[in-house]
A and B are shown apart, each in its own frame.
Chain A
């Protein structure tokens, strides 16, 4: 079951949008970070059930943060939400261990269904 959600994005508007799109039917706990490095720090201390991760960020990119997160927990459920729609980017982040990639701006439906998939992945019902 998903309880703790970490949102890593340098755009405050993007973080707000993600939070808004997540259904209110569950008592989720939200954690936020505005760059890759503090995202990794939060990941260590919070141990979230799912991470929404942007790629284009200052200090540490989402690509690097993803690598760090997967090193800490190879079963991490990371959903990459990015404006970088190059196919190679999608291939790379999936290869690096991301569960899903959604392009920006995400629709509410995409956010909800990705969260559902992350839940199934965490329960072991769905494979990467």
Chain B
């Protein structure tokens, strides 16, 4: 199939892929809840077929945050291939750190140590969420992925170049997005999975195999 068309996935395939991400994100939420002892409120995922040039705008619109952001980026490579971004506001990163370490510990640290601790904490959380979500997606699609190490990016999304080498030759990317919130805490983050359409035929088949396996077809 020619990946030069926005209808590269049918409505049913999109629905199934969204449901796979819903399941994978449920797994990620459970891992996170175990580790940090907070209850995660799941939301309905979104799926969009976008041109690489539209991705940045989509992400900015979804996160709706003009102040500074903390982004954790990780690439995954299997038959399914792409970039995952966990996006948190500065404020939310700080709140998250205070929940994990308590305020007392921070008082004894100087400013740059706090910044470092914050960076390492959100990077590790990003790694957990991305890993749980992408690995479960791969498992449901009968794929296996490897990861690049998580990378912390502070600043604005607009100042950040999307991975050119991954998407520059492609007309479209399959972008999945979900929001997670912690109950009773004013903390939320956004997870984006930007999938290459390089193995589109494989992906379509994997989605249909999944549907068949669970009796959907």
> Contacts A20-B215, A56-B42, A108-B215: A83 and B22 contacting too (C-beta < 8 A)?
yes
B99 within 8 A of A: no
CB nearest to A89 among chain B residues: B39
Give A44 Cβ to nearest chain B Cβ, in Å.
24
Interface 0/1 of A86-122, CB less than 8 Å to B: 1110000000000000011111100000000000000
Q: Are the CB atoms of A105 and B43 closer together than 8 Å?
A: no
From the candidates B22, B27, B39, name the one contacting A56 in the complex (CB within 8 A).
Answer: B22
- Contacts of B16-55 to chain A: CB distance below 8 A: 16, 18-19, 22-23, 25-27, 29-30, 33, 39-40, 42-44
A26 at the interface (CB under 8 A from B): no
Chain A, 14-34, CB within 8 A of any chain B CB: 14, 16-17, 20-21
B216 on interface, CB distance cutoff 8 Å: yes
- In the bound assembly, the distance between CA atoms of A56 and B22 in angstroms comes to 8
Inter-chain contact B12/A17, CB cutoff 8 Å? no
Q: How far is the CB of A84 from chain B (nearest CB, A)?
A: 5
Indicate whether A2 reaches chain B with its CB closer than 8 angstroms: no
| B interface size (C-beta, 8 A) | 25
Interface on chain B toward A: helix, strand, loop, or mixed SS? Answer: helix
How far is A108 from B217 in the complex, measured between Cα atoms in Å?
13
Q: Given the complex of chains A and B, what is the CA–CA distance between A7 and B140 in angstroms?
A: 23
| Centre residue among B26, B44, B214, B217 by max chain A CB count within 10 A | B214
Question: Interface readout for B132-152 with A: 1 if CB under 8 Å, 0 if not?
Answer: 000000001000000000000
Instruction: Check: B166 CB closer than 8 A to any chain A CB.
Output: no
**Minimum Cβ distance to chain A for residue B135 (Å):** 15
In the bound complex, CA of A128 to CA of B44 (Å): 29
Q: Which residues in B have their C-beta under 8 angstroms from that of A70?
A: none
Residue ranges of A at the interface with B (Cβ–Cβ < 8 Å) = 10-14, 16-17, 20-21, 55-58, 82-88, 103-108
Which residues of chain B have a CB within 8 Å of any CB of chain A? 12, 15-16, 18-19, 22-23, 25-27, 29-30, 33, 39-40, 42-44, 140, 210-211, 214-217
